[in-house]
Amino acid sequence: MRVSVYGAGLTGLVTAWALADVGNDVVLVACEGEELTALKRLQLGVNEPGLSERLAAQLAEGRLRFEDQWAAGFNHGDVHFVALAADRIALAEQLLAALALTRSESLTVVNQSTFPVGAARRLRELMLLERERQGLVDDVYFLALPSFLQEGAAIHNFTRPQRILLGSDDEWGLRLVAELLRPFCRNQGQLMVMSTKEAEFSKYAINGMLATKLSFMNEMANLADQLQVDIEQVRKGVGSDPRIGFDYIYPGCGFGGLSFSQDVMRLAETVETEVEDSYLLQTVLESNEQQKEVLFRKLWRHFDSDLAGKTVAIWGAAFKPGTDRIDNAPCLLLLEALWAQGVAVRIYDPAALESLRRHFGERQDMRLCDSAYQAAEGADALLIVTEWKEFWSPDFERLAELMRNPLIFDGRNIYDPGFMREIGFTYRGVGRSSDFDS
């Protein structure tokens, strides 16, 4: 089948590769703000292991090509996938209004962008209105295919999905797109069909539920600190209940990420405007923002509110391991709080240092370090913000020698408190203080 994909972000790139990989003829169209030259050099701007090599293979096979003119996609595709960033709905409207006038026959469009609930129906109506003005009578089949791709695991997410939510308001568009997706949903029950509005809302509801689980466990961890209870044992007990499970119940210093955070915020905005007396999601978001400062509050209490002139090492700036993104990352709010108290910060992250430099510029109170150990030199305390694998088993003896004080505030609970105490560190996790105060 001939497929056009609009948008060269993570979702667009993985979709284009995956559809080409199973034999389709795919054109990926770089849209406004996306450089075709960089794309052809496979400078992707996303951190997805193996994606560049896979794209190169499909380009060499001739089943995939890159363009930067909408017309190239309009003239090519039997099915058109729109994979733009969540804040690019105005661009999507322009693109689809132009697409509506390019063909007299019916059009099939699949929206993967995380636009507001009801966007698929509104965009279809926009296209039909444009066609009506030109006397084009054939239909527009418009589907919603919410993206659940996670950077670092997006290839696996697309090719081995736990489920595919496909929103469709008509039979023909459903049959055509279901056939395109057939290679990726061979197991019974993987393809879940519903209306476009239900599919869009399901994406928001899933992320809202996950955010609620995270925030709830963070609240329990904060309470555990006060009750002298080890949250790790509580987490194991809670996760052992099959109705809850172990996913998304690891307490820490808050969640970030552009897509995940924006999805929750958009759902909260939808609830606020459409529903009376519903405050849960807004509370979740407020709780998460407060949790981003949990390490600062622990540091503040440890030093009796006297932080001026202190030097703090931070391990991890990205909102999660495996990415260089710092969108809504806990590190950002933490840094602002530290600087407000006159703290000098030494930061190491395996991937996100350039993102930090672009975000904050050059600062005398922020040193970007080449290694975790360099960041720890002369530090009064070490704060662990992102749980990169290289932080899990450092040379603790070397670390203690480098630091001014062997003091660790662990925002991801990656170390065992008892072991840390035995080797001479003062250690504070999130909800784990009882291990040292007993």
Mean predicted confidence (pLDDT) in 166-191: 89
Task: Give the separation between CA 208 and CA 196, rounded to whole angstroms.
Answer: 19
The two tokens of residue 346 are 């030494």
* Residue-wise pLDDT tens digits, 238-253: 999 999 999 988 999 9
Task: Give the separation between CA 323 and CA 329, rounded to whole angstroms.
Answer: 11
**Residue 272 has what pLDDT?**
55
Task: Give the separation between CA 204 and CA 260, rounded to whole angstroms.
Answer: 9
Q: Is the pLDDT score of 437 beyond 80?
A: no
* Residue-wise pLDDT tens digits, 196-240: 999 998 988 888 888 889 889 999 999 998 888 999 999 999 999
- Common-topology check for domains 2-194 and 210-437: yes
pLDDT over 70 percentage in the chain: 93
- Write down the mean pLDDT value for the chain: 91
* Residue-wise pLDDT tens digits, 14-70: 999 999 999 999 999 999 888 999 999 999 988 899 999 999 999 999 999 999 999
Q: Is the pLDDT score of 161 beyond 50?
A: yes
Given a contact cutoff of 8 angstroms between Cβ atoms, the answer to whether 27 and 77 are in contact is yes
Task: Give the separation between CA 180 and CA 160, rounded to whole angstroms.
Answer: 15
Q: Is the pLDDT score of 137 beyond 60?
A: yes
Q: Is the pLDDT score of 410 beyond 90?
A: yes
Mean predicted confidence (pLDDT) in 321-328: 88
Q: Is the pLDDT score of 278 beyond 80?
A: no
Q: What is 210-437's CATH number?
A: 3.40.50.720
Give the model's confidence band at 436: pLDDT under 50 very low, under 70 low, under 90 confident, else very high: very low
Domain ranges of the chain: 2-194, 210-437
Q: Where are the beta strands (DSSP E) in 154-310?
A: 164-168, 191-194
The two tokens of residue 20 are 């080409």
* Residue-wise pLDDT tens digits, 67-84: 999 999 999 999 999 999
**Residue 435 has what pLDDT?**
47
Quote the CATH superfamily of domain 2-194. Answer: NAD(P)-binding Rossmann-like Domain (3.40.50.720)
